[in-house]
Structure 1
């Protein structure tokens, strides 16, 4: 039986190196400093491009999101990992998604952006990463108590 390369030590390290280089290149090619690859920020920019807010600085249709969606779909089909699933509690999922997005945007963006900010010398990223760790801890407490969205 063949082991999945991306679940091996070299696969994980290689993926991290690839994403780190990609984030640095995206900043060099014009993304705002300390942003790199931040899906929460990209979604905020797309919302502005669609006219859902009027902050001129963040109104841009991000091509990265299209690449993420099409690339992950293609990879899932290629490696026969595509398994669409439905779940219960769509309102709860929606509200939790809203909280996750607000938390990401208020507290320094997604984990990638927080790590990039920390690497760039921004000490505030420590609080963002601590908040992320606290949120993951609370989530695991819910999971251990048997909470399930379906």
Structure 2
């Protein structure tokens, strides 16, 4: 009898672990995959329209922001095609990679600051901080889940 209980418990555990997890990480956001298939021009256009709604950009700012986003997307795709993955890098290569990444972020922030008014830039900064906070909250909430 004891053996049957252990066998039933083992089978139940095995069957439970073999089932796919609801909300699995494999196919977390299919829309993100579809957006990756868009051309850089299309992505830049979407990002520019989103910023226009958020910050009330004028025509000149829209054109400058569109060029900014287009340049960022093209550079990112080129880096992905040409670059190594950070886990395959040596310590020195990783340092150089991170340093270049931070330099690019500083340059991008300066470029945005020159395009946007002070009020628009502050509004954008608050929005970015809020988005990061929500992402961290979501990550901590999902931390204990089984992949």
TM-score clears 0.5: no
Query: What's the TM-score bracket when you normalise by the shorter of the two chains?
Result: 0.3 to 0.5
Q: Which structure's CA Rg is the greater one? A: 2
Q: TM-score, normalised by structure 2?
A: 0.34
Question: Which of 1 and 2 has higher RCO (CA within 8 Å, sep 6+)?
Answer: 2
